[in-house]
Amino acid sequence: DAKTTQPNSMESNEEEPVHLPCNHSTISGTDYIHWYRQLPSQGPEYVIHGLTSNVNNRMASLAIAEDRKSSTLILHRATLRDAAVYYCILRDVESEGGSNYKLTFGKGTLLTVNP
Amino acid sequence: DGGITQSPKYLFRKEGQNVTLSCEQNLNHDAMYWYRQDPGQGLRLIYYSQIVNDFQKGDIAEGYSVSREKKESFPLTVTSAQKNPTAFYLCASSIGLGGVLTLPQHFGDGTRLSIL
């Protein structure tokens, strides 16, 4: 899977929007962009994914650059419960076999939400 | 609600002892996975299973064993051969393996294993 780069940490205030960036300059045409988050002492939780177009769901929005070399996860109104490590993952959905099924989590971005 | 249940949440192992971590899912997913997470690190794949009675080694299978006798269950045994078993173990599932079926993966809340 292609590599992603995220800031180590970010800080936000409660009820303000948060924009979490991810750079993926070596992304291929069949790589989907996935975001997961992991709250302390819990398993990762799926947030959102997309290929080319911007995506919205009840948790967040995903804005994908036109050249697909970067993307931004947007939390519209941060809450204390959104404090977590956020992972940006690329996944080539055409890859088959062996350990290609694993999810490669980097170190992600630690989001701190201030009350 | 459908989901993945891992038990116990905390587990302690004595030297030379095998321990089994439980993972049950009611999502009707065919594929299941075991990952290991060390402090401040990403996830590493231990084993995965595409279907009942079938499973494959991941990147760090040495010292671990699994079984898949039922679609809903994928227990992981940490054997005494695993020299550094202290870690956070995560079980996951997906609709299937290959292509878009692999994602998203749904995770349990993990089991934290420590050595006494």
Chain A, nearest residue to B87 by Cα? A41
Integer CA distances (angstroms), B111 to B16, B36, B43, in order: 19, 10, 14
**Could you tell me how many helices (H) and strands (E) chain A has, helices first?**
0, 9
Distance from the B29 Cα atom to the nearest Cα atom in chain A, whole angstroms: 15
Single-letter code of the amino acid located at B113:
L
Tell me if chain A has a CB within 8 Å of the CB of B114.
no
Distance from the B22 Cα atom to the nearest Cα atom in chain A, whole angstroms: 15
Task: Find residues 24-43 of chain A whose CB sits inside 8 Å of chain B.
Answer: 32, 34, 41-43
Query: What proportion of chain B, given as a percentage, has pLDDT over 70?
Result: 95
Tell me if chain A has a CB within 8 Å of the CB of B61.
no
- The β-bridge relationship of strands A18-23 and A70-75 is antiparallel
Tokens of B52: 């009942």
Residue B43 has a pLDDT of: 87
HSE-up of A49 (CA within 13 Å, CB side)? 17
Tokens of B99: 């292509």
Tell me if chain B has a CB within 8 Å of the CB of A103.
yes
User: Average pLDDT of chain B?
Assistant: 91
Distance from the A89 Cα atom to the nearest Cα atom in chain B, whole angstroms: 11
Residue A103 has a pLDDT of: 73
Tokens 């948060």 identify what position?
A18
B3/B103 Cα distance (integer angstroms): 15
Tens of pLDDT, residues B30-77: 999 999 999 878 888 899 998 999 999 998 999 999 999 999 999 999
Tokens of A66: 């036109």
For residues B63, B69, B72, B74, the Cα torsion angle rounded to the nearest 10 degrees is 0
Bridge partners of B89, per DSSP, are: B36, B111
Q: Do you find a cis peptide bond into B104, omega within 30 degrees of 0?
A: yes
Residue B105 has a pLDDT of: 85
- Contacting residues of A for B48, CB less than 8 Å apart: 101-102
**Read out DSSP for B3-16?**
-EEEE-SEEEE-TT
Q: Which residue has the higher pLDDT, B79 or A31?
A: B79
Residue A102 has a pLDDT of: 67
Bridge partners of A31, per DSSP, are: A92
Residue A104 has a pLDDT of: 75
Tell me if chain B has a CB within 8 Å of the CB of A91.
yes
Q: Which residue has the higher pLDDT, A30 or B91?
A: B91
Residue A92 has a pLDDT of: 75
Tens of pLDDT along chain A (115 residues)?
568 999 999 999 999 999 999 999 999 888 889 999 999 889 999 999 999 999 999 999 999 999 999 999 999 999 999 999 999 998 876 665 544 566 777 789 999 999 9
Chain A interface disruption, residue of B33, B105, B106, B111, most A CBs within 10 A: B105
